[in-house]
């Protein structure tokens, strides 16, 4: 077998099947570790509500409400973005279909004119 430097050969990963992806549990934990802000860690440290003072409870409630509000706001933006992408994609499909129609119409006219 002759191998040239300009060729790229790839035989895949041993044991992998075409079209199959690794499950989340098989991916190593070190890749999924996130750097959380210290405020987030203070709120989500596993303490029960009765173990907190009034001021700590108020701080945590404020943080949790802010997180919930942020999540709601970003989700609504993503829904709008998805809707716009779908509309643009549909418009592109319509444009392609119209172009194909015009092409076939032109060829059809040529064939009819040759027959007549």
pLDDT, residue 72, reads: 83
Mean pLDDT, contiguous 10-residue spans, the chain (116 residues): 64 68 63 68 78 87 89 75 86 90 88 82
pLDDT, residue 77, reads: 64
pLDDT in tens, 54-66: 888 898 889 889 9
pLDDT in tens, 28-41: 555 555 677 777 77
CA distances from residue 47 to 33, 41, 50, 97 in whole angstroms, order as listed? 22, 11, 8, 60
> Angle at Cα 96 formed by Cα 94 and Cα 97, nearest 5°?
65
| Torsion-angle region of 16 (φ positive above 0: left; ψ -120 to 50: alpha; else: beta) | beta
pLDDT, residue 65, reads: 92
């Amino acid at each position: 077998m002759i191998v040239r430097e300009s060729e790229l050969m790839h035989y895949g990963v041993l044991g992998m099947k075409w079209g199959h992806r690794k499950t989340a549990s098989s991916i190593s934990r070190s890749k999924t570790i996130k750097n959380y802000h210290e405020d987030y860690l203070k709120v989500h440290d596993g303490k029960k509500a009765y173990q907190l003072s009034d001021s700590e409870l108020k701080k945590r409630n404020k943080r949790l409400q802010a997180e919930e509000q942020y999540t709601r706001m970003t989700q609504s933006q993503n829904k709008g973005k998805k809707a716009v992408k779908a509309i643009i994609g549909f418009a592109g499909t319509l444009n392609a279909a119209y172009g194909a129609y015009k092409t076939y119409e032109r060829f059809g006219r040529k064939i009819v004119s040759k027959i007549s």
